[in-house]
Structure 1
Amino acid sequence: MPKATPAEPSRFYLHIVEIFKGERRLPRQKKKPIVGSLPFESGRDPKLLGEILDGDSTEKGWARPIARATILDRWSEVVGEDVAAHTSPTIENDILQVQCDSSAWATQLRILRHDIAQEIANRYPDSGIDRVDVIGPGVPRQNYGPRTVKWRGPRDTYG
């Protein structure tokens, strides 16, 4: 006696079972236990506050602003007490701008600006300071914006 052919829904069902049988194509990933979350593990030991803050500041992107604030706060350690007494630093667009009390100090710092940039790069590598600009006394910064004009500007301050 010949075998009867199954009806259309039965053939469809058997076809689907044949296609999707066996192991799953993408096995489910087992969740890895968080290190230090189980009792009596080494990761549960107390950690130093400095290590926690360093990790958080790097993870959250605070390293650059903290390094820049540290440069401005410890300016006298970077350049020395004498130079720091006659200068005031600011940071704009990855450029350290140093304004001096007199044109004589500005001239001397222009000579030393590469050494200052190297010192900053060594002490504070996360700061991202690209270059050091030295500005004379009372000179406004007009080198930015859509309407800039090249002008002579003030000359010597007689100071």
Structure 2
Amino acid sequence: MTADRGRGSDLAREALRAAREASAERAAKRTAEMQGRKPVKARGRRRRWSGPGPDDRDPQPFGRLVSRVALDRGWSPRLTDATVLGRWHQLVGADIADHCTPLSLRDGELVLQAESTAWATQLRTLQRQLLGRLAGAVGRDVVRRIRVVGPSGPSWRHGPRHVRGRGPRDTYG
């Protein structure tokens, strides 16, 4: 039995010696590789990590990135105009939005087309309330004036030239 212990300890010594030789070979190989390269100098400044606070390198919400790009490229006024026209039903409510359509928004003037002359008159009386709602929702200087136009009938004019008279009705009879 004592011979068995000697063999076990001899095996352990042999395994330890082999591991040391392998480690020494790897270290010699590394130093030989490093001698071929230039030594890397340590920079005086340490790398800064973002830490627990938000940083520009952290992932950003998509909406924030889009708004930053819009500001950088000068698209913000157009986007706010598009917001007014695109969210018209939410901004003014279903009652008003069902009876009028926003046509354009240029230089702070919103042009609305009413479905009837009665609604055009009603919208002209509600003009101050609409301006207040829009200013609260999209900003104070986005919509400064509202111009209401009534419904438009069919036009018989086609092209740049026009002859005065009754138009196509005088050939009916």
Give the shorter-chain TM-score range: 0.5 to 0.7
Could you tell me how far 1:128 is from its partner in structure 2?
2.4
65-74 or 50-59, which moves further after superposition? 50-59
Runs of 4+ with >3 A deviation = none
Aligned match of 1:54: 67
Percent of pairs with identical residues = 33
TM-score, with structure 1 as normaliser: 0.57
For 1:107, give the aligned amino acid: T
Aligned match of 1:72: 85
Could you tell me how far 1:55 is from its partner in structure 2?
1.6
* Aligned 8 A contact 1:64 1:126 in 2: no
Aligned counterparts, 1:117-128, within 5 A: 117-125=131-139, 128=142
Deviations 1:129-150 (A, max 9, x none): 22111111118xxxxxxxxxxx
SS at match of 2:126: helix
Deviations 1:30-50 (A, max 9, x none): xxxxxxxx9552132222222
Q: Which runs of 5+ in 1 are unaligned?
A: 1-37, 140-159
The structure with higher relative contact order (CA 8 Å, sep 6+) is 1
Aligned-pair Cα RMSD in Å: 2.1
Q: 1:52 to 1:126 in 2, by over 3 A?
A: farther
Larger radius of gyration: 2
100-109 or 59-68, which moves further after superposition? 59-68
Q: 1:81 to 1:94 in 2, by over 3 A?
A: same
Could you tell me how far 1:94 is from its partner in structure 2?
2.2
Q: Structure 2: how far apart are the matches of 1:75 and 1:50?
A: 21
The number of residue pairs the alignment matches comes to 102
Q: 1:126 to 1:117 in 2, by over 3 A?
A: closer
Could you tell me how far 1:122 is from its partner in structure 2?
1.2
Could you tell me how far 1:79 is from its partner in structure 2?
1.6
Q: Which runs of 5+ in 2 are unaligned?
A: 1-45, 154-173
* Aligned 8 A contact 1:100 1:137 in 2: yes
Q: Structure 1: how far apart are the matches of 2:90 and 2:79?
A: 16
Aligned counterparts, 1:8-157, within 5 A: 40-42=48-50, 43=55, 44-90=57-103, 91-125=105-139, 128-138=142-152
